[in-house]
Each structure stands twice: as structure tokens, then as C-alpha cells.
Structure 1
Amino acid sequence: MGANQTAEPKASVALATGPAPGGEEKQRRRVVYATLAGTTIEWYDFLVYAQVAALLFGDLFFSGLGQWSQLTALATAGVSFFFRPLGAIVSGYLGDRFGRRIVLVLTLGLMGVSTMLVGLLPTTAAIGIAAPILLILLRCLQGLSAGGEWGGAAMLAVEHARTGHRGRMGAFPQMGVPLGMMLAIVVMGAFNALLGKEAFDAWGWRLPFLFSVVLVVVGQYVRSQVAESPVFTELEESKAKAKTPLRELLSTHGTKVLKAAATMVGNIAAGYMIVGGFALAYVTSAHDLPRAQVLMLLFAASAVWIAFTYVGAWWSDRSGRPVVYKFGYSMLFVLLLPQFWLLSQGTGLGVGVALLTLAVPLGLTYGPQSALFAEMFPARIRLSGASLAYAVGAVLGGAFAPMIAEALTQGFGTVIAVAPYLMVMALISLVTAFFLTDRSAEPQESMADR
């Protein structure tokens, strides 16, 4: 083992042994609050766009495209995914060279500014073709931010955890996606109720974007209270940091990036049926279900998602990450056809059952992800590896999942046609789970040095 690797155990042993002093426990609680709050706000910004795009942006920014306006609006939600790898590369370099905390601050700030500007953007009726161009540019900035946010938050959480608790500690930034969805639904629902549908569709849709400014200020304050990762601090003190993290990552662990990405494509593709706006757009347009009712069902599904995210993380600490992935993706594969049949019926009860049952395997396969990714890469290039794997998985699994679902529904005349596409994605992740090495019980000094 080389000098760069031998420097890691000192900090990691401190994390893994015995009951932590009161100061460390207090810091862990701060990490929980900071990663959960910041990631929730980040994803609130990201998902408000997806929901409003599904409902309104086709008419407001792409009305000249006729029947393709809705499909194009959903595509703008997906184009941001192609900027996630760039965000992951930049944040990975910053996080592995200068610390995990700086990534959290920069990504949250970038997301907040770009989201606020969407709320101020004139529509096509006011400034013509410049409106959709600027909209897409702002969505790309959101993609840059999202590409870096997850890795910084997830690795900070996991690197503060004790051995045997990495899954649970890493579950908190994972909860930010469904919790951000719930926050987006509450805010959108509140403004919709206060203003009425006509006013909300005309100008009130801007308010959820502008409200982001308040949330970002709160999130930045919470994150400013968090100490740097002890693992990174030890790397810095021992001068064991990677000089060129991306080059080292691709030359020594490139296949692990692809493997990690493959474990999440099934989750991302299916998850974006809920958070990407497809379910909301489909059932409110094809079956005329009231928008408020569908938002409440999505809210309930997000709550179930949160609960099973923690269950999946806890279970992975007890039985290993691969066991949970195998069970979760098997469950998702089996349930997809009946779930989309229920959606096709268009009843409130059927839609509710479909969304709630979909959230269970989504949570199980999302909860262990932070810990799994941390355990796959050495500490010196961990943030680069985890961020890039997450970004690649997001592109392959979720970039155009809502648009593909919309195209399949239109092409085959039924929403059931979406199920086989998602089943293929779930199968890819399920097969990958059989090739994972479980390191959930290993201490931090040995969990990723191979």
C-alpha cells in the first residue's frame, strides 16, 4: 500500500471506535440538519421547475410548437441532466482538493440564483424566442448545481458516520429529493389556493421560484454551522489529497463509476414519474383529475418515499447494501405493470395506490445509495467518484424519462406502454446489484481502498 493510502486510516479509526464524545455527536446532528435542509432546498428549486413545466411552460414558452409544446416543455426539464456531469467534475475537484463544505455552499447559491431568475423571466409573448432560450440556459445552470450538490452533501454525511451507521447517516441527504417534492407541492398548492387557478396560471407560477430566495438564505446559514469532514481534514493534514482527482479516478476506478451509475438508473427513471412532472401532467390532462387532488396524492407518495428511504438505509446497515438493492428492484420490476394499469384507469383511488406503492421500492433503492457510493471509492477521490457516478446515472436514467414516458403514451395511446421501458431500467439496476461488493461492515480506513 502506497503512502497516499496509508494516510487515511488515522481519521477513519477515530470515527469508528467506541462511543463518540458529546462534541462529535453534536456535530453529527448538525451534519444531519445541514445535509437534509440544504438538499431539500436544492431539490425544491429543481422540482418546482419540473412541476410548473409539466403544467404551464408548454403554453407560456413553447406555444408555437402546437401539439409538441408539452413534450418540449418536459424536454427542457431533462436537458439540465446533460450539465450534471460537468457540475460533478467541477464539484468533485473542489471537494477533493479544498473540502466538502465549499461544494455545499457554492451549489446551493447557484441553484438559488438560477431558480429566482426563472421566476423573473418574461414569457414568449413578451420577448419572443429569447424567452425559451433563456429558460433553457437557466435550467442548465440548475443542472450544473444539481450535479455537484448531491456528492458534497452525501459524502459529508457518510464521512461523519460511525461504522455500522453509514447507511442511516447517508439517508438524510437522500431524503432531500422527496422532501423537496413535498415542499414544492405545499408552496405551489398554497399559492394556487390563494390566487386561484386563473391567476396562478397567468402570473402566480412565478412566486414559488421567487420564494426560493428565502429558503436559500436559511439553507446557507444552516450549512455554515457544519465542520469539515474529518476524513478530508486528515487527508489535508497528511498531504494525501489527490492533485488531479478526475484523472486518478478515471485511470484507476473508471469501471466503478459505471457500475455505481448502473445501480441507480432504475430508481431515477421510475422516480421521475413522480418528481419529474409526468404523473401530474398525465392524470390532470388525460383524466381531468383535479390538480389539487393529484398534488395531495404526490405529497403522500413523497412521504412514503421518505419513510422507506430510511428503512432501506437502516436495512442496508444490518444486512448489506446488495441485499436491499436486490429486494427493492425485484419489487419495482414486479409492480410496474399493475401500477401503470391503475394510472390508465384514471380514478383517484387507482392513481393513489399506484403512486404510493411505487414510492416503496423507490425508497428502498434510494436509501443505501450515499453509503454504497462512498464505500466504492478511496477517500482521496471519493467526492469526484460519487458525484460523477451520480451524474452519469441521472443522465442515463432520468434525463428524458418524463419525455420518453409522454412519447410512449402518445405513440401507443395508453400510459401502460411506459411500464416496459421502466422495467428494463429496473432490470439493469437489479442485475448490477449482483456484482456489488458489500463493505457496509468495514471501517472507513479499509472500506474503499481497493
Structure 2
Amino acid sequence: MAGTVIGEGVVEKKSHGLVIGAASAGTVFEWYDFYLYGSLAGFITQHFFSGVNETTGYIFALLAFAAGFAVRPFGALVFGRLGDLWGRKNTFLVTMLLMGLSTFSVGLLPGYGQIGVAAPLLLVLMRLMQGLALGGEYGGAATYVAEHAPPGRRGLYTSWIQTTATLGLFLSLVVILVVRSMTGEEIFKAWAWRIPFLVSAILLGVSLWIRLRLNESPVFQKMVEEGKTSKKPLTESFGEWSNLKVVLLALLGLTAGQAVVWYTGQFYALFFLEKMLKVDGALTNTLVAWALILGTPFFVVFGWLSDKIGRKPIILAGCLLAVLTYFPIFKALTAAANPALAHAAAAAPVVVVADRADCAFQFDPVGKTAFTSSCDIAKSALANAGITYRNQAAPVGSTAVVRVGEVEVPSFRGQGLAKADFDARKAAWTKSLTETLHQAGYPPKADPAQVNRPMVVALLFLLMLYVTMVYGPVAAALVEMFPARIRYTSMSLPYHIGNGWFGGFLPTTAFAMVAATGNIYSGLWYPIVIAAVTVLIGLFFVPEMRGANIDD
């Protein structure tokens, strides 16, 4: 008898291991696909948005990245409904196939130089397909694993799903680094950046083979046998106030704050190092990869801990720590990654003294607007140089001045000048400004020899720790909030609005805030405010659901 019990236990453990492994492997692949685009945004700007100026092109590349997030809630509705109607397993097989094909296609798309404006349009279309697929993937994987988990271990089991986004990002960084090192920067910039997208075809085949070995969720099978599946999951989820209220609380009191902390710690930090602090791209990827390696096990640690003390306390603690410490962490990151820049900014702060009416918001969608005012000339030069600055009002009608410490560099008015004359004068003025900045100690790029790598990794790890706190327990928390018959639909929407909209638009919004203010830290207000709101709503209105019955 004892042998039989042990044998059954071993079989059960193997079965649970397959469930977690298969669901996680497929989700890693989908996140790998999704984050390739974010990691290669600079190269995509050059190949698909070369018809506009550099700043606008980068904003467009970030908007195309955000487009994939924008449609994730719609994917959650479409595939969530299918998951509640005809099963968890079948649905996330479809989402994986859709994601894989769209990613592979990005590696084959001709650029702007070959097919003109059709290139960015096709790229955005592929991003939309990826977003729809990912919108249906997460809810299925999390629900599937949770419905297999034994009582008291739901947080632990689903936390493995939570590692997949980080592992997918890590895998994308590793593949990029390998290809870069094998081909060299020039070849990688020219065409080899496409290889990581094409490699996804291999990962797609492996992931599909693994997932095809799975059976349907036991909770869903039971509902089918008892005739308790929902006939109208969308209506039940969002047309009835009793459930819609829970959806809103899950969004505002859990996933919105979780999302901005997640994207700040794992994506914005990478963007900040490379774009704001001018750290070499390959070195940035390496430093972030080390932080991911060190931090990833804590998804499981906090998932396990949430089975002991609850989901809500850990998630809200991570949000609160982010609110309190983001500014000092990112300022310390500047000092560690680019000490020359930090020293210059402290010793010779840059101020743009200009008539506010002379300053425009420099976003040019069609590449036709000429920004020729003295303020716009000054700010565009500083933005392209990655220099943080402070704004100071000047008398109406005055010409803008860039003050670097005690040295002043007067700008010039370009209105009325012929294009050739304007370009020549701007080039000469920019050269003068650059020389002044160099004399004040501002470096054109971060010196790799001066980067305090252990400190940078430590700070990135701290940001990563916050990520694991908010993200590790959230799948179990969402699964436990909704009834089984509409769980896939109900939990997917708040998760993907939180992560797709609040989180997905973080890089674009933060960069726009930095460009508008001139302060490289001003973009942090976006995640700080949203995380603070989540702490307040979650603390007072979201119930703790640890250990709730999820079979009904």
C-alpha cells in the first residue's frame, strides 16, 4: 500500500512538473518574441523610421513598441472568451502560433529604404498581432497552472509563470549579445539584427511540441462534464457590476502598480542606461542580464512567501518601496554608470534660458516641420547630446541662451533663413556648444573603464527585487479573485490593461516627459504616481484572497 502511495505521489509530481514546465516554456518564448523589439528599438528606428528626424524616429519606434501593448486588452477579450468557452490548452496553443509567425515575419520585412512608408506600417501590423497573441497567452498559462496546483501551493506554482517574462527578456538579450559578438557591430547594424527574430522559428517549434503533450485543465474538464461552463463569458465578466467591480479593483489596486514597477525595473532601466547615460549597448545588455540572473529566483521566493502571508502585502510593499526609492536609485545609477556625466552635471549644470513662447514640443510625425526658433535649436541640440538641463524663463522676445556652469552660449534665430544657410549656421553653433560642454566635463559617451559595474548590477538587482515582489504573487492573486467559469476572461483584462497600457506606455511616456522637461529623472514621476495610487486603493479596497476555493 505504501509503495502505491509513493508511486502515485511521484506520478503527480512529474505531472505537475510537466504542467509548469510546458506552460512556462511557451510563455518564455512569447516574451522572448515580444521583447526582441524593445531591445532592438534603436536598430528598428534606423531601418523602418528613417524618413523622419532622429528624435521623432525614436519616438515612433517606441510608439510601435507600445502598439503591441495597446492591443493586449483586446487580445485578452478575444482569447479570454475562447479560453472560457473551449478550453485553456487549445487557446494558448493558438496564441503561441500567432506570436511566433508575426515575430518571424519581422525578421524578413524590408526596410524604409526598400518599400517606403509600407515598411513601418507592416511593422506596426506585426506588433499588433504580437500584442493580440500575448493578450491571450498569459491568462491561459496562469489559469492553467493555478488550476493544477494543490491547495497551499498556488503562489509557488504560478510564480514559475511569473519568471517567464524576465527569462524571455534575458533570452532575447543573450541571443542579441551572441549575434553581435559573432557578426561585429557594423554587420549587426546593417542586417544581422534580424537574426534573433528569425531564430524564433526554432523556439516556436520546440514550444509547440512541448505544449501539445498537455491535457486540459482539470477544473475546466470538470465544468464541461457538469455543464457549468459560461455561455457568455464577456457578458458575465463585464456586464454584471458584481464582477466588473472586482475587475476594476484588480486593475487599480494590483496590476497598474505592478506593471509600472515591472517595466521600470526591467525595461526602463535598460533604456535609461543606454539612451540617457550613453552606456555602450552591449555593456548595457550584459549588466542587465547579470541583474536578471541574480533576481529571477526571487519570483519563486515571493510566490512561495505569498502562500504563507498573503499576496497583497508583498505586492503593495514592492509598490511602496518603488515610490520611496526610485529617485535615489536612478541618481546613484548615473553616478555609477557615467561618473563623468554625474560630476559635470553637478559642477556645471546646464540651463536653457528662453522665452517660453519660443519653445515648441518637438514631435514631427511627417518630418516636414522645421524647428528654427532659438529655444528649439538649443533644446534639440541638448536632447541629441543626451544632456539634462533646467529651464529658466527669459523676457518675452529674447534670444535663448544655453548656460553651462558660468559659460553662456547664445543661440540664434533661424526663422527666415534659407535651408542651406540655416543648416550651416546650426552645425557651427552645435559644434560650439559641444566644445563648451566638453570643456565643462560632459562626455559624449560613458567611458567603459569608468563604469562601476558591481554597483550598477547591485542597483539593477534592487530594481529587479521590487519587480519580483510585485510580479511573483500577482498571478495567484488574480486567479483567486474570479470564478472558474469566467476566470480566463475576467483576469486577463485587468492584467493586460495594467501591463499593456499602464506599463506598456511607460517608456514612451517617460521619454516624452524627459524630452519636455530636459530632466533625465522626470520620467520617473509616471511610475511613482501610479504605484502610489495602487498602494492606496489596494490597501483599503482589495481583499486578500489567499487560499480561496478556485474550483467553482
TM-score normalised by structure 2 residue count: 0.75
Which ranges in structure 1 are unaligned for 5 or more consecutive residues? 1-17
Between structure 1 and structure 2, the one with the greater Rg is 2
Inter-CA distance 375–417: structure 2 relative to 1 (3 Å threshold): same
Question: How many Å apart are 1:25 and its aligned residue?
Answer: 2.4
1:291-332 deviations in Å (ceiling 9; x for gaps): 221111111222244222112211110001111122211212
- Corresponding position: 1:403 with 2:508: yes
Q: Which residue of 2 aligns with 1:366?
A: 471
The one-letter code of the counterpart of 2:544 is D
After superposition, residues 194-209 of structure 1 pair within 5 angstroms as 194-209=182-197
- Corresponding position: 1:59 with 2:46: yes
Question: How many Å apart are 1:412 and its aligned residue?
Answer: 2.2
Partners of 1:324 and 1:20 in 2: CA distance: 34
Partners of 1:437 and 1:201 in 2: CA distance: 50
Partners of 2:263 and 2:190 in 1: CA distance: 26
Q: Which residue of 2 aligns with 1:433?
A: 538
Question: How many Å apart are 1:19 and its aligned residue?
Answer: 11
Q: Which residue of 1 aligns with 2:76?
A: 88
Of 13, 17, 34, the residue aligned with 1:25 is 13
After superposition, residues 51-200 of structure 1 pair within 5 angstroms as 51-53=39-41, 55-66=42-53, 67-200=55-188
**Which range moved further: 80-89 or 104-113?**
80-89
Of 263, 275, 278, the residue aligned with 1:288 is 278
**Which range moved further: 357-366 or 61-70?**
61-70
SS in 1 for 2:51: helix
Q: Which residue of 2 aligns with 1:15?
A: none
The one-letter code of the counterpart of 2:135 is G
Q: Which residue of 2 aligns with 1:384?
A: 489
Inter-CA distance 329–287: structure 2 relative to 1 (3 Å threshold): closer
The one-letter code of the counterpart of 1:182 is F
SS in 2 for 1:254: helix
Question: How many Å apart are 1:274 and its aligned residue?
Answer: 4.9
* Contact 2:31–2:164 (8 Å) recurs in 1: yes
The one-letter code of the counterpart of 2:281 is R
* Contact 1:163–1:442 (8 Å) recurs in 2: no
* Contact 2:149–2:157 (8 Å) recurs in 1: yes
Which one has the bigger helix percentage? 1
Q: How many residues align?
A: 427
Of 303, 309, 314, the residue aligned with 1:313 is 303
TM-score normalised by structure 1 residue count: 0.91
Q: Which residue of 2 aligns with 1:245?
A: 233
Please tell me the root mean square deviation across aligned C-alpha atoms, in Å. 1.8
- Corresponding position: 1:273 with 2:264: yes
Of 36, 43, 67, the residue aligned with 1:48 is 36
Question: How many Å apart are 1:402 and its aligned residue?
Answer: 0.5
SS in 1 for 2:546: coil
**Which range moved further: 169-178 or 287-296?**
287-296
* Contact 2:223–2:485 (8 Å) recurs in 1: yes
SS in 2 for 1:225: coil
Partners of 1:272 and 1:325 in 2: CA distance: 15
Q: Which residue of 2 aligns with 1:8?
A: none
SS in 1 for 2:152: coil
Partners of 1:275 and 1:219 in 2: CA distance: 24
Partners of 1:270 and 1:412 in 2: CA distance: 22
**Which range moved further: 201-210 or 25-34?**
25-34
* Contact 2:51–2:112 (8 Å) recurs in 1: no
Question: How many Å apart are 1:285 and its aligned residue?
Answer: 3.9
Inter-CA distance 287–322: structure 2 relative to 1 (3 Å threshold): closer
Question: How many Å apart are 1:261 and its aligned residue?
Answer: 1.7
* Contact 1:95–1:384 (8 Å) recurs in 2: yes
**Which range moved further: 431-440 or 161-170?**
431-440
The one-letter code of the counterpart of 2:144 is L
Q: Which residue of 2 aligns with 1:5?
A: none
Partners of 1:444 and 1:70 in 2: CA distance: 45
Partners of 2:119 and 2:502 in 1: CA distance: 28
**Which range moved further: 302-311 or 147-156?**
302-311
